[in-house]
Structure 1
């Protein structure tokens, strides 16, 4: 009667990365003011939504000879979340555009945001002070007859929001050691299937994917560790269907678990804030049928490599050029070692690859290697698009046209290099 929602129909919930971007804007505008976070919870949120009478017939509960109709929205059905979030989206619209409560975010039944620490207001029903924005939100809920309980209306900094400790003044998000250990144990347990066929039901794949996806709020660079997991579940709908755990999947999950195990669990929001003009090192990359290349205008150094002897597309070569640039920059000595690396590339697919960190399995080895180098060298990366007409030096180098490259940038020194073999993954000969 109500089909399972497709990806495009699913509600995109706010997360702590969204909150982080909001806090960065606030901190930029008010660098010295102390902030406080708050989180407000609706009581029995899903149950506040009445269901259509035709659907109520599917929610008859039998106890002995008695039949009782559940007339409210039930948690756990495929559309339950959509129904609640559609209603809550309207409530947030009223909060933002009618009540002028800016930067309101929501994750299911939790609404969260920030307020200046010295802005507090007395909320009469609970006989206590709340951050002004939170108090006004509760007054809106009262006006709309949305129920809530005092114990679920919390505030402070740091504050736990959807499982993460967020500090609005230190500008950091932390995943506790206990939660990190539980996630690592869950990943390793998932791989340790004793059956000969090495399989698990689809629902377990989906549950692990959701758990890991949640952790990416603190470990955004580890997204490539989900490539095989997503590929194994794509297009499958039967939650009981048996899905094979392959060697490639285990390799990616092991890579993911090892990084989470060694990580501090702290994500600094400042790493999201820098602009291209703040970069310590700027590189340009390109690829052609004659080779791959990157170069540094500031250092007047260009690098060219012939294409490895493997079958691949131009997209792969363009991406390998970016990975090679990252590899070279990550090994620079301290005086010129960058903390913020900006790479210009004229291939839009490659730019998207490094901005989303999501690739098909055949390209994922490039991302895995790049992330390894970024984490080890503590470099923040931005890859941005540049028009091909403005990428003349890199284009000339990729085509072995040294004279044209020197004419465009006099004083350029050109070197040969070998692309990192580990980035080629299964393509290596």
Structure 2
């Protein structure tokens, strides 16, 4: 009526109201609930983009800016998250063109993991913050840290105090991280009392100028400080408060100063607080310590390769949710029907092999159990879900024509390769390195990742100290392997064979050439197998050169891989008549998996027909 009296034209299709809930620029504003909301599909889209980038070491500038754009949209209602866009902006500005690649360093991936941790448990709602500012004095909130005593804080009638851990205080003083000591009680206060600060804009008075700058910018060049800043930011996102800092003189912070110095007479003279909170630096009630420790142990139960495979499975599942326009949070999507649709999506849309689908389902099952949900692949009585197992059988039928079989490298082919590597194919050093590694892999039934490595770690990978060799035998210590789940270590034994494949002879030859070329790298902690460049023998280089040798015989080399040696060793052992139990021991198989490694030739089957016909 007002607009009509004023002769102001209105378009009915563009006019809404009066209402208490309105979508404005993609954000839903609700004046009844006093909250702003982001649609769930946008949250899932951000989670999907984070999953894609956080697993990469490099990405294009276009991909990074796409994610930053989503973050920038979200920070309209997630105010503390703005500070964690600055470093990503800095990374994106390192190149000019959109198709150029930028490097996602450790700091960038940690920032992405912080966003991921928050978004996975966020319901998309944020309460309106109060328009007025409130100081920590108004809240009766004070914290302080004394470098030689401890730390403390007070909030109304509640307070806490504690002594520094010796290692922690030594680290802070060694790195001159005085702001870290001042930051600690602030984070502890947010853990203990953050729920009482909901919707507040709090100005925190602090007597350390450096910490004031860090709190306002939410950035620091110190990785330890950033660990606590991220925790503080996650708490402010969880409890929906916004924290700022203002510098004051230390003399005006007498209450918290008395607590941190444990001057109890002085403390009682300035306050009448009666309730002390029992708290220690590493208390489970503060940082959800036990919860994080449990999650860490869950992840440590998996091998690194399995963790990567499970991460891929969850990422594909989130892509499926986005593809199917399922507007629910991840932990709400593990029902039986959604799992069935996911299997159909993998088979019909992505054309993924059934073995990969089983790996993805294992990732979903593992994630459900880790967050405390029931197993989505089993019934309540423990039996397998019939519908899921039926669809998996269908997937196997679809993929039966596309199976890729690796051919074995048996002793006969390995002998030809060994004769070819006589010092003139790749050079004396390369040939001696390949012959030693090939023969050790063959007779030791080694997996490719057990003697080749992309990033060397002396505590995990083969070193010189792990090899003990004499005239007639040698021993390798595999510190970590697939079936050694507790990392006790497994000894691989080699013995002289006095033929062209003798691992003892080839190891002696390789060690002699290695000592001549890398005398300075012959320490006990140096890698066992080193390329002429000084780098550890990598999987890619090993397979590439192995295929080059095989190609020189006129054989189709792509049918062979590094795992062909393990397959060939099992097949050769079976052909030689070794008992099954011994094959399982040599190959370190705990179940019946060894059966698929034994390749049976057509001549063996033909002989079987002859033998059967004579009975």
TM-score w.r.t. the length of structure 2 is 0.38
Could you tell me how far apart the structure 1 residues matched to 2:217 and 2:33 are?
A: 26
> Aligned-pair distance for 1:398?
3.3
Report whether the alignment pairs 1:321 with 2:191: no
Number of matched pairs: 275
> Aligned-pair distance for 1:356?
4.9
Aligned 1:269-284 pairs, distance under 5 A: 269=128, 271-273=129-131, 275-276=133-134, 282-284=140-142
> Aligned-pair distance for 1:202?
2.7
In structure 2, what is the equivalent of residue 222 of structure 1? 81
In structure 2, what is the equivalent of residue 11 of structure 1? none
Asked if the contact 1:323/1:366 (under 8 Å) is kept, the reply is yes
Q: Deviations over 1:348-385 (max 9, x none)?
A: 44345445545556232112212334455x36354553
- Counterpart selection for 1:244 from 103, 109, 134: 103
Q: Which structure shows the higher strand fraction?
A: 1
- Counterpart selection for 1:301 from 131, 141, 159: 159
Could you tell me how far apart the structure 2 residues matched to 1:207 and 1:361 are?
A: 28
Higher Rg of the two aligned structures: 2
In structure 2, what is the equivalent of residue 165 of structure 1? 28
Asked if the contact 1:280/1:338 (under 8 Å) is kept, the reply is no
- Larger RCO: 1 or 2 (CA < 8 Å, sep 6+): 1
In structure 2, what is the equivalent of residue 266 of structure 1? 125
> Aligned-pair distance for 1:179?
1.6
Asked if the contact 1:357/1:367 (under 8 Å) is kept, the reply is yes
3-state SS, counterpart of residue 76 of structure 2: coil
In structure 1, what is the equivalent of residue 208 of structure 2? 347
- Counterpart selection for 1:255 from 89, 114, 119: 114
Q: Which structure shows the higher helix fraction?
A: 2
> Aligned-pair distance for 1:215?
0.9
Could you tell me how far apart the structure 2 residues matched to 1:221 and 1:255 are?
A: 12
Could you tell me how far apart the structure 2 residues matched to 1:418 and 1:231 are?
A: 37
Measured at CA, do residues 123 and 292 of structure 1 come closer, stay the same or move farther in structure 2, by a change above 3 Å? Answer: farther
Q: Deviations over 1:136-167 (max 9, x none)?
A: xxxxxxxxxxxxxx699555443332221223
Q: Which moved more, 1:205-214 or 1:322-331?
A: 322-331
Measured at CA, do residues 161 and 373 of structure 1 come closer, stay the same or move farther in structure 2, by a change above 3 Å? Answer: closer
Report whether the alignment pairs 1:205 with 2:68: no
Asked if the contact 1:227/1:364 (under 8 Å) is kept, the reply is no
In structure 1, what is the equivalent of residue 3 of structure 2? 120
Could you tell me how far apart the structure 2 residues matched to 1:403 and 1:234 are?
A: 56
In structure 1, what is the equivalent of residue 53 of structure 2? 190
Measured at CA, do residues 401 and 171 of structure 1 come closer, stay the same or move farther in structure 2, by a change above 3 Å? Answer: closer
Asked if the contact 2:151/2:261 (under 8 Å) is kept, the reply is no
> Aligned-pair distance for 1:168?
4.6
Asked if the contact 1:202/1:239 (under 8 Å) is kept, the reply is yes
> Aligned-pair distance for 1:405?
3.5
Q: Deviations over 1:10-49 (max 9, x none)?
A: xxxxxxxxxxxxxxxxxxxxxxxxxxxxxxxxxxxxxxxx
3-state SS, counterpart of residue 120 of structure 1: helix
> Aligned-pair distance for 1:175?
1.0
Aligned 1:2-151 pairs, distance under 5 A: 119-121=2-4, 128-129=9-10
In structure 2, what is the equivalent of residue 43 of structure 1? none
Gaps spanning 5+ residues in structure 2: where?
Answer: 293-615
Q: Deviations over 1:236-273 (max 9, x none)?
A: 5454442222344334313312422332212221x333
3-state SS, counterpart of residue 328 of structure 1: helix
Report whether the alignment pairs 1:380 with 2:380: no
> Aligned-pair distance for 1:128?
3.9
Could you tell me how far apart the structure 2 residues matched to 1:224 and 1:165 are?
A: 23
3-state SS, counterpart of residue 59 of structure 2: strand
Q: Which moved more, 1:279-288 or 1:172-181?
A: 279-288
Could you tell me how far apart the structure 2 residues matched to 1:154 and 1:361 are?
A: 52
3-state SS, counterpart of residue 48 of structure 2: helix
Could you tell me how far apart the structure 1 residues matched to 2:5 and 2:215 are?
A: 48
Could you tell me how far apart the structure 1 residues matched to 2:262 and 2:255 are?
A: 11
Gaps spanning 5+ residues in structure 1: where?
Answer: 1-117, 130-149, 332-336
Asked if the contact 1:320/1:366 (under 8 Å) is kept, the reply is yes
Could you tell me how far apart the structure 1 residues matched to 2:149 and 2:97 are?
A: 46
In structure 1, what is the equivalent of residue 478 of structure 2? none
